[in-house]
Amino acid sequence: MKALKKEADERLLIEAAQQDPACFAELYEINFERVYAYVVRRVGNRTETEDLTSEVFHQALANLKRFEWRGIPFAAWLFRIAANLISDRWQRSGREVPDDSGAIEAAQVNPAEVEQVERRATLFRFVDKLPVEQRRVVVLRFVEQKSIKEVAREIRKTEGAVKQLQFRALSTLRARMEGADA
């Protein structure tokens, strides 16, 4: 029932964005983490991931009017755009395709991959909901890859306090992820 409601809501949002592109912002908010998680899983590199994620949304916005609702989630359409862009890029650069990426047919999106992507996207969204100090530590430590000493200096806390915030943040995220899985 909940899934049907979600599907109906998504359909309405897409139709609204097709009429008025201002509504695309909401589709972007809902799908940003998914697309990013999908791309980073395949390419691994942050700069390239940002570049490709950006291309996916630019292309989606440009072609939104062509999207036809067939009961398939909007995210699947975005994943397909991403898969094609990655495939093109690999072909252009003559890069060897990694075996475990399922990229022999790079434009294919498999359900197991989507499940993993969805899990990561959920985790990324949970980070946004962490208390400010915990979130700051997570960003400095994992995105900016700073040492405990550097983080401590930046947020004006002791190294012990930073380690404690790091521990709390990861424990909170773990609990929320378990709740999301249940």
Partner 1 sequence: MPKRSLNSGTDNTKKIEQLNKALEAVLARTDGRPPQVDTGIEPLLRIAADLRDLPHESFKARLKSELERKKEKKYSHCC
Q: Which stretch binds partner 1 (CB under 8 A): 1-9, 36-44, 95-103, 105-113?
A: 36-44
Neighbouring C-alpha atoms within 13 Å toward the C-beta of 42 = 36
Span 89-148, contacts to partner 1 by CB under 8 A: 120, 123-124, 127, 138-139, 141-143, 145, 148
Site string for partner 1, 61-90 (x = CB under 8 A): x-----------------------------
| Nearer residue to partner 1 within complex by CB, 57 or 79 | 57
Here the tokens at position 47 are: 């700069």
Write the single-letter amino acid at 41.
R
d(CA 95, CA 91): 7
Short-list 74, 76, 75, 81, CA closest to 54: 81
Contacts with 95 (C-beta within 8 Å, 6 or more apart), sequence order: 89
* Residue ranges binding partner 1 (CB under 8 A): 21-22, 24-25, 28, 32-33, 36-37, 40-41, 46, 49-50, 53-54, 57-58, 61, 120, 123-124, 127, 138-139, 141-143, 145, 148, 163-164, 166-167, 170-171, 173-174, 177
